[in-house]
């Protein structure tokens, strides 16, 4: 599983969608309303996920699975368990990526450039319309889809699609600038569950190599 795909978070082969018949402006408005309706009451989220990565030719190059926890604002935790153990933790100030097999930690500070990433779309506190433009909505047998493009040009993905079933997030699909598509399918979704704040802190394991600034001075204050 590529660090690039992990940090930006994001379907099995492209789905055949049945487009909603509506003027473009109405479709965009419906898309904003759908996403805002979900995010407007979102304080936290917990779910299992299946992730699939396909290349520019539509060939599956990676499959993985694990669990996701989100606590707004700016905190999330991705536990990848199969086929390799990897962990991503956003603690409100930095994002930590730990590869268990390599015994390596990569640290990146959370900054404005991350505001228009799919991960921060779910966990951030920013306004949806400030960071994304809704370009299409559609409906198929699995979900109602909202497609969005980032307003910033320094992101490493082209578009993201969210798939909703009865106002529950079921899918997240991301296309990067290399033509790869990452699909996340969520199950056992719990919205606003009680979550221990300690899940969103990270301690470097003894002996692990660290890439980036892991100094205690940069650590965020604990939230309760």
Structure tokens at 151: 């307003």
- Gap between the Cα atoms of 119 and 76, Å rounded: 8
The gap from C-alpha 117 to its chain's centroid, in whole angstroms, comes to 7
HSE, side-chain direction, 13 A CA sphere, residue 80: 26
Q: Are 171 and 143 in contact (CB under 8 A)?
A: yes
Domain 3-213 has CATH 3.90.550.10: no
- Gap between the Cα atoms of 124 and 214, Å rounded: 22
Confidence (pLDDT) at 21: 28
pLDDT in tens, 74-116: 899 999 998 889 999 999 889 999 999 999 999 988 875 565 5
Q: Are 13 and 183 in contact (CB under 8 A)?
A: no
pLDDT mean by block of 10 residues, the chain; 224 residues: 41 25 56 86 93 92 94 91 91 91 91 59 72 89 91 82 91 90 94 93 93 66 37
Contacts of 181 (CB under 8 A, 6+ apart): 11, 14, 53, 54, 173, 174, 175
Confidence (pLDDT) at 3: 40
Q: Return the closest-CA partner of residue 97 out of 207, 202, 176.
A: 202
Q: Return the closest-CA partner of residue 67 out of 196, 204, 166, 189.
A: 189
Confidence (pLDDT) at 223: 36
């Amino acid at each position: 599983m590529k660090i690039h795909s992990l940090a930006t978070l994001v379907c099995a082969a492209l789905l055949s969608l049945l487009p909603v018949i509506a003027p473009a402006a109405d479709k965009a408005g419906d898309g904003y309303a759908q996403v805002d309706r979900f995010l407007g009451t979102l304080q936290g989220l917990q779910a299992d996920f299946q992730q699939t990565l396909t290349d520019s030719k539509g060939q599956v190059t990676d499959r993985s699975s694990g669990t996701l926890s989100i606590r707004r604002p700016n905190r999330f935790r991705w536990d990848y368990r199969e086929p390799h153990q990897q962990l991503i933790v956003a603690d409100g100030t930095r994002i930590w990526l730990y590869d268990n097999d390599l015994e390596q930690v990569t640290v990146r500070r959370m900054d404005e450039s991350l505001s228009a990433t799919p991960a921060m779309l779910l966990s951030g506190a920013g306004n949806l319309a400030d960071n994304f433009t809704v370009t299409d909505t559609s409906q198929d047998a699995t979900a109602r889809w909202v497609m969005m493009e980032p307003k910033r040009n320094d992101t490493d993905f082209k578009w993201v699609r969210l798939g909703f079933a009865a106002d529950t997030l079921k899918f997240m699909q991301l296309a990067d600038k290399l033509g790869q598509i990452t699909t996340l399918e969520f199950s056992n979704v719990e919205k606003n569950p009680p979550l221990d704040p300690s899940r969103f802190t990270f301690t470097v394991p003894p002996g692990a190599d660290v890439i980036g600034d892991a100094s205690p001075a940069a650590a965020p204050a604990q939230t309760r």
